[in-house]
Structure 1
């Protein structure tokens, strides 16, 4: 589904008129366009300016686009046109008017039966065509699998190499891919090999598990934890039907040499489960109905894991291999939400921090803490009541909101440090969201919406009740991968909280359906 163009968007690119927005990511913005020759609707990816300024990138972009044009349109979106010399460069592909696998599973639930089999075969068919043209996808994920009339269409193949391989984009912080669907060898760019077709085959297995279950086969509390499981654990295939489990297990082998080719995979799917290899059958049986823990396996070198952690840290995906603990000790010195509430009219308390009229004297001894641990539901209720610190976890990004005290825009972080700690302040049925890192005594700082001609950015604000600072938590149907309730975060005056590849912004009302959901991870009691 397209959304209206925003102020500042171009009206056209080359011979194509732009009529709407289809999405935005780390590589650029995707527009819905109309070809002046016949009026055909197309999808146009306009490259971000920071890539376009590099001469080497344009050369690689031209080469990769020419190669991608050779891919037969079997279950793939056809590459129609490109202009690497345009300011900025752009790529034109077939417009597929259908939801992505990510949206379909989120809104309707996991697939089963013929629908699941059709997705598995469709993606394998696409990879057979892509690899047959000597192209590697590099970023196969549910968001790049679209439901089209007549079957599956895989998009965004091939050109990722142009973004990944230019001189300014070979560092670990520019590796292209989505952690949950990345093969183990991709986390070791120093000692390992360049991406091969086998990495796409691994991604096929992870995508099919997602289609069948609604989760990654290596799901963890953080991107770094997911990477650790990819490197060291067997996949959790619980919920994958018997008809696909052997093929999926084969594709998720740690060793790329042990995985099938796309042609072998497609032949296996078309021939049926009876012909699956014995090794895959044994792996599938071992993982059936058994969720996988995170073992400290010694078979892989610690240096590989350390490199993977460094990669994730550089991308902002995760600094430390760890779970997000719900019993973390309180961080001293944080400003409590009660002081933020007290600073503005209509909220309980006093700006000076003194007890409100009728409250207990400050000399009263603090109550003794209860020995009983709070349940997850009680922690969530306490967070919503402004009693406990929280991480605000983006379910789709598998990262957490972060606010640096010296930087106004809100970014995605790894969930460590005070920059990721917030407190919800009830304001009627809505909430203010206070940053514990940016707040100082007497000066609480909250999230707010800053409207510009081009966008509605999420940024720092004073804590006060108003249209730009109050947010509603709208329950989502799906929980996060740890079973925590997930919510859409909605600002009544501007819209839903979204991510543009660099920072968070608020989508204008009427621009389209919400995409990102958020859960709240307990970080302990707020300081008194």
Structure 2
């Protein structure tokens, strides 16, 4: 039986690599595509195949080979174990243990924040993984909820080492380009491009991941990536919803000054020293306890300043090989190191915004924040932040929920959302928020009777606005944990025909009003005055109103989505 996260192969996908038989797709990122495969012994594994344009680069292959050797030194507890690699193949590839479990992001999106015991389990599991990774001289660089799998026995951290979504060689990486998801980036990553990255950046990301798992939001959440970066640089984290020792540890991990953060090993020791929380988290989880104890025996990392990693390279170097710090004046006092006078702060934020937008404009990991693309149809002052024809995985990704017989797939040049029974289902799209004031367009087709296309906006976990595009009407309402409430409905004089031509839907949300259009013609305006809904993501999916048959299928298709930020 194949893993639940597997999607069908596309026509251009390989059917075999070496001795491995490719049986499905697991995802696509900035460095290549991840496939599910079988070994000759019928064991399922995950294979990351590197992008075709990187294969001819000799420098990339050298770094790939070195990085694989480094990744193999990472102990397998709490990480996906590296099993094999072929850096000399036409398309270099890496084989790792296949972990069949939902991501932390998926669980929080679908079920809300974790309970106290589960939250402590995740905190311990991720700290265990970082201790092992850092002990092997590797920095993860892209730790986030989508890279934490809630596997049976113990959480698993994936995509460390060569699995990072990054440019492969210094020749392909321009100054100002960075890798990762903005909400989990440490302050030092927005500074000097020549500055060396340290394991403290992963510890900062740990704090963001645990805060998200416990509250359903990131600790520096804002309405755009540059605003999020500004808060990371200048504001304290919002940790409301966390309590006790874990809140203190998360706050410590999110210190602005990397020298003030604990190491991963120190985090792990402190987590395990809390008798009540640790006992509840480890109760009935012998694998997690064994992994934590094994991680505490790791000797590759020692406390103290952590310097010497190469930010501009795929290859990290062992901590033991790092050069001593250069002689020079003593560092500023910790209490004043991150003080920014007003003029300097404005300059820093401007640079950050530009660097973030450069980074985010590249297609790749769908969990990476979105950024501006060349303007297309934008009015004066608008910035195009998402453009996706939805013909293949890019900002939106395949998704499946077998228990509810629901999925999102790419078929016939469109993103198709379906459910076997009535209800709603959202597809996996960009994680980061779009500005609260925005304009968007998307083409919609209804593929089966009684189906409605759903467009969520200003949507954060458990609250947001929902547009339902049905055959005879368009409705706008709120969607919260207690259900959907309609604000206003508009009957359609020209119904959306099942299987007919796509309708081009336009929406513009500015302050307290939504303006709706169909094929360039105004449908109506709707007040947006719910004080609990302040901003969030744009999502696409399928919805069915009450009164329809229990059994479907219910199917809708989306294509050519564009989203602009408004001035």
Fold-level match, TM-score > 0.5? yes
CA distance in structure 2 between the partners assigned to 1:164 and 1:481 by the alignment: 37
Once residues 394 and 33 of structure 1 are traced to their aligned partners in structure 2, the CA distance between those partners, rounded to angstroms, is: 23
Tell me, yes or no, if structure 1 residue 85 matches structure 2 residue 88: yes
- Residue 44 of structure 1 aligns to a residue in which SS? strand
User: Partner of 2:462 in structure 1?
Assistant: none
| Corresponding residue for residue 305 of structure 1 | 349
1:201 to 203, 210, 213: 203
- Higher RCO (CA < 8 A, seq sep 6+): 2
Q: 2:60 aligns with which of 27, 47, 57?
A: 57
Tell me how far 1:304 sits from its aligned partner.
3.4
1:10 corresponds to 2:14? yes
TM-score normalised according to structure 1 size: 0.61
Residue among 23, 33, 36 paired with 1:32: 36
Over 3 Å counting, the alpha-carbon distance change for 1:112 and 1:490 in structure 2 is closer
Q: State the SS of the aligned residue for 1:148.
A: coil
Does residue 469 (structure 1) correspond to residue 502 (structure 2)? The answer is yes
Corresponding residue number in structure 2 for 1:108: 111
TM-fit CA distance, 1:149 = 1.5
* 2:77 aligned residue: 74
Q: For 1:333 and 1:90, locate their aligned partners in 2 and report how far apart those are by CA, in whole Å.
A: 43
**Residues 112 and 10 (structure 1 numbering): CA distance in 2 closer, same or farther, change over 3 Å?**
same
Deviations 1:314-335 (A, max 9, x none): 12469xxxxxxxxxxx95899x
2:159 equivalent in structure 1: 156
Q: CA deviation at 1:301?
A: 4.9
- Over 3 Å counting, the alpha-carbon distance change for 1:7 and 1:104 in structure 2 is same
Bigger proportion of residues as strand:
2
Contact kept, 8 Å, 1:205 with 1:252, in 2: the verdict is: yes
CA contact (8 A) 2:49 2:93 kept: yes
TM score, norm. by length of structure 2: 0.57
Judge conservation of contact 1:164–1:170 (CA < 8 Å) in 2.
Answer: yes
TM-superposed CA distance for 1:74, in Å, is 1.7
Per-residue CA deviations over 1:345-395 (Å, capped at 9, x if unaligned) read xxxxxxxxxxxxxxxxxxxxxxxxxxxxxxxxxxxxxxxxxxxxxxxx997
Cα deviation 1:161-219 (Å, max 9, x = unaligned): 794461233224642211111111111243x6222101000000000011001111011
| RMSD across aligned positions (CA) | 4.2
Cα distance in structure 1, aligned partners of 2:381 and 2:223: 27
**Are the structure 2 counterparts of residues 99 and 424 from structure 1 closer, same or farther at C-alpha, using a change threshold of 3 Å?**
closer
Query: Residues 422-461 of structure 1: matches in 2 within 5 Å?
Result: 422=441
Quick check: 1:398 aligned with 2:401? no
1:488 maps to 2:540: yes
Instruction: State the alpha-carbon separation in 2 of the partners of residues 31 and 302 from structure 1.
Output: 44
How big is the shift at 1:52?
2.3
Equivalent-residue separation in structure 1 for 2:451 and 2:106 (angstroms): 28
Partner SS, residue 86 of structure 1: coil
Equivalents in 2 of 1:217, 1:246: separation in Å? 13
Alignment of 1:259-270 (within 5 A): 259-270=261-272
Shift of 1:13: 1.2
Shift of 1:107: 1.1
Counterpart Cα distance in 2 of 1:169 and 1:123: 31
Determine helix, strand or coil for the equivalent of 2:80.
coil
Separation in structure 2 between the aligned mates of residue 470 and residue 256 of structure 1, nearest angstrom: 51
Asked if residue 22 in structure 1 is aligned to residue 26 in structure 2, the reply is: yes
In structure 1, how many angstroms separate the alpha carbons of the residues matched to 2:556 and 2:442? Answer: 21
Alignment of 1:243-258 (within 5 A): 243-258=245-260
Deviation at 1:298, TM superposition (A): 3.9
How many residues are matched?
A: 366
The unaligned stretches of length 5 or more in structure 2 are 278-338, 363-377, 383-426, 456-495, 507-530, 544-552
Change (3 A) 1:274 1:4: closer
Report the CA distance between 1:122 and its aligned residue. 0.2
Report the secondary structure of 1:32's partner residue: strand
Superposition deviation, residue 143 in structure 1: 0.5
Aligned ranges 1:114-513 → 2 under 5 Å: 114-159=117-162, 163-164=166-167, 166-172=169-175, 174-190=177-193, 193-272=195-274, 298=342, 301-316=345-360, 396-398=430-432, 421-422=440-441, 467=500, 469-470=502-503, 482-483=534-535, 487-489=539-541
The CA distance in 2 between the partners of 1:256 and 1:485, in whole Å, is: 30
The SS at the match of 1:104 is: helix
CA shift in 2, pair 1:25/1:43, >3 Å: same
Alpha-carbon distance change, 222 to 87 in structure 1, aligned in 2, over 3 angstroms: same
Cα separation, 2, equivalents of 1:223 and 1:54: 32
User: SS of the counterpart of 2:155?
Assistant: strand
How far apart are the structure 2 equivalents of 1:139 and 1:160? 9
Give SS of 1:82's match. strand
Contact 1:426–1:432 under 8 Å retained in 2 = no
Shift of 1:138: 0.6
1:117-166 deviation per Cα after TM superposition (whole angstroms, max 9, x unaligned): 00000000000000000000010010010011101110111115794461
CA offset digits 1:454-495 (Å, max 9, x no partner): xxxxxxxxxx9764624899xxxxx99845686424599986
| Paired residues of 1:68 and 1:79 also in contact (CA < 8 A) | yes
For residues 43 and 260 of structure 2, the distance between their equivalents in structure 1, rounded to whole angstroms, comes to: 43
For residues 117 and 70 of structure 2, what CA distance do their matches in structure 1 show?
33
